[in-house]
Structure 1
Amino acid sequence: MSRRPSTALELAYARTEAITREQARNFYYGIRLLPPAKRSALCAVYALARRIDDIGDGDAGGDPGTEAKLAALGRVRESVRRAREQDPDASDAVLVAVTDAARRYPIPLGAFDELVDGVEADVRMDDVPGESAPYATFDDMVGYCRQVAGSVGRLCLGIFGSRPDPRAPGFADALGIALQQTNILRDIREDLQNGRIYLPTEELARFDVDLRLDEHGNLVDKTGGLAELIRFSAARAREWYADGLRLVPLLDRRSAACATAMAGIYRQLLDDIAADPPSVYHQRRSLSGRQKIGVAVKALAGRAPGGAGA
């Protein structure tokens, strides 16, 4: 039987691990492959990232409105800044764990600022009716993805560590961006229901897509243009995965397994969506628990998505 946490720091880490176990439906399959110290540190990072996301989505105590969300995000930004300069609020288990993790590993805490920037963009989007996408081009969308997901990739890299290579942060960034592109394709319907559009205006026009919902809340695609756009976007996202997975050979075995498992779950989801784009018109696609375990087992064996060795 494992020993119960007793110190304030142990309790803080226990809290962030519980948050991750309960809420990281995909990431936890990879995180659990890490050795205990790195696993605890990554759970702390995830818990703070989740707090930021939940504020943006209105899941942190209801939906208080745009100004209240922006104020709450500002408080998180300030709390991270203070934690970098002095001891965090002892009553905030998440910040206590993150601050300790940053003392143990070279975690770029400034990346949380980028994550807050991206979530602030989401919140401001809520004030604009979903008549048009706020991102005119794919490059614009990538900028957003870099804020909300590339930042997380770089935070993870601080915990993983890597062989000396100046390209490593760029690979971690690309992997996060690939995962976010998958999220965008998976969540087109749900995002539109919430008044958010992430697909670039330029590409919606190129594929003659008029993003809208029918009376049942399902996506409408009378011409097939949306399905074509999804397949096109998925093929492009695979290129980002290929670039990002160049990080894997630079990592130790357990960190490589973690990164490969997380990427593998999302890459499999991407392939499933590309094989049947209309499936996202009426539901939120996901892999089964058995499928996720299968990906994690392959990752631990050193098998990267697409069959490449890790």
Structure 2
Amino acid sequence: MNDLMKAYHHCESIIKEHSKTFYKAFMLLPKEKKLAVWAVYAFCRQVDDIVDEGLSPKEELFVFKEMFADFLNGELPSDDPMWLALQDVFQRYEMDVQSFHDMIIGQEMDLYKKLYYTEEEVLHYSYHVASTVGLMLLPILAPKKKNALRKDAIALGQAMQITNILRDIGEDLERDRIYIPIDKLERAGYSLDDLNNRILNNKFISVWEEMANKAEGLYEQALSTIHLYPMHSRTPVKGAAYLYRAILGSIRKKGYSVFKTKHFVTSEEKQQIISQI
């Protein structure tokens, strides 16, 4: 196996370990495109890990940004195989460099901002941490339609990130982070004290549902142009959207227990969803 294939397999092992949902959805792509998706995912994961697990994340992120600048100047900034795989992706596809920069900005927000007050702020954050990934993938998934699909790829990323937020409320509280809009909670008569005390009542559920409805509207928007994707990309994108959207149904079914339980769609349910697409 040559060095490039080893690098791609390294990227595959990262997505396989960290995102079984995306791995399952994008397994359906032709081989070359699938490898490219693994490389983009490995890049995003590295930034994510620096912010969430780095010992001195601000400094580490600064170093990573310098490395990315070197990479864009045609260098391989380190012997991390991710860069070798990504270099091949950038040679094969017309990648959207700005979306890579914007994703790093989004991850950086987590180092400085822990409270989100309005839906607008949440959507702005969701664009940076999630929609950007869709924009990175568009030149791979739909090279001839990437401009026509841009707006709805952004909507899909926002829908997925709001789904993450609604699933991870308890986990985020542990890290002193609140992404569910505080002004909506307060308008519903549900205080920050209630949230910190993990009180699950109708006021909380009404806000959770308002955000879930927002996400569902964004999923609908994203799927309205699914026919513009080439045939081979259509099922993976649809699959990722359906698998993520199913998380909302799973949370409802389990009585909105987002403070204590990490909700996920089981392997059997995933199989069933994918087979129906």
Q: Same fold (TM over 0.5)?
A: yes
Inter-CA distance 165–116: structure 2 relative to 1 (3 Å threshold): closer
Change (3 A) 1:9 1:249: same
* Secondary structure at 2:165 match in 1: helix
| CA deviations over 1:202-231 (Å, ceiling 9, x no partner) | 2121122224589xx97223x421111111
The residue that corresponds to 1:147 in the other structure is 128
How far has the Cα of 1:246 moved from its partner? 2.6
Instruction: Provide the aligned C-alpha RMSD in A.
Output: 1.9
Correspondence list, 1:292-303, <5 A? 292-298=270-276, 303=277
Deviates more, 1:273-282 or 1:254-263: 273-282
Q: Following TM superposition, by how much is the alpha carbon of 1:35 offset from its aligned partner in structure 2, in angstroms?
A: 0.6
Contact 2:162 2:215 in 1 (8 A): yes
Q: Which residue of 2 aligns with 1:272?
A: 250
Match of 1:187 in 2: 168
Q: Which residue of 1 aligns with 2:198?
A: 219
Q: Counting helix residues as a fraction of each chain, which structure ranks higher?
A: 2
Asked if residue 43 in structure 1 is aligned to residue 24 in structure 2, the reply is no
Q: Kindly indicate whether residue 237 of structure 2 is the aligned counterpart of residue 259 of structure 1.
A: yes
CA contact (8 A) 1:186 1:285 kept: yes
Which amino acid is the alignment partner of residue 285 of structure 1?
H
Counterpart in 1 of 2:22? 27
Q: Give the alignment's TM-score, normalised by structure 1.
A: 0.84
Specify which of 48, 52, 57 is matched with residue 52 of structure 2: 57
Q: Which consecutive residues of structure 2, in runs of 5 or more, have no partner in the other structure? A: none
Q: Which residue of 1 aligns with 2:212?
A: 234
What is the aligned partner in structure 1 of residue 187 from structure 2?
206
Shift of 1:118: 1.1
Q: 1:81 aligns with which of 60, 69, 86?
A: 69
> Does 1:14 find its partner at 2:2?
no
CA shift for structure 1 position 276: 4.4
Dislocated runs of 4+, deviation >6 Å: none
Query: Structure 1 regions of 5+ residues with no counterpart?
Result: 127-132, 304-310
Q: Deviations over 1:182-241 (max 9, x none)?
A: 000000000011110111222121122224589xx97223x4211111111111110000
Q: 2-side partners of 1:253 and 1:212: how far apart?
A: 49
> Normalization by structure 2: what TM-score?
0.93
Corresponding residue pairs, total:
277
Q: For residue 168 of structure 1, report the CA deviation from its aligned partner.
A: 0.8
- Letter of the structure 1 residue corresponding to residue 213 of structure 2: A
Cα 1:77–1:247 change in 2 (3 A) is farther
The secondary structure found in structure 2 opposite 1:140 is helix
User: For the Cα contact (< 8 Å) 1:13–1:44, is it kept in 2?
Assistant: yes
Are positions 1:113 and 2:101 aligned together?
yes
**Partner amino acid, structure 1, of 2:44:** A
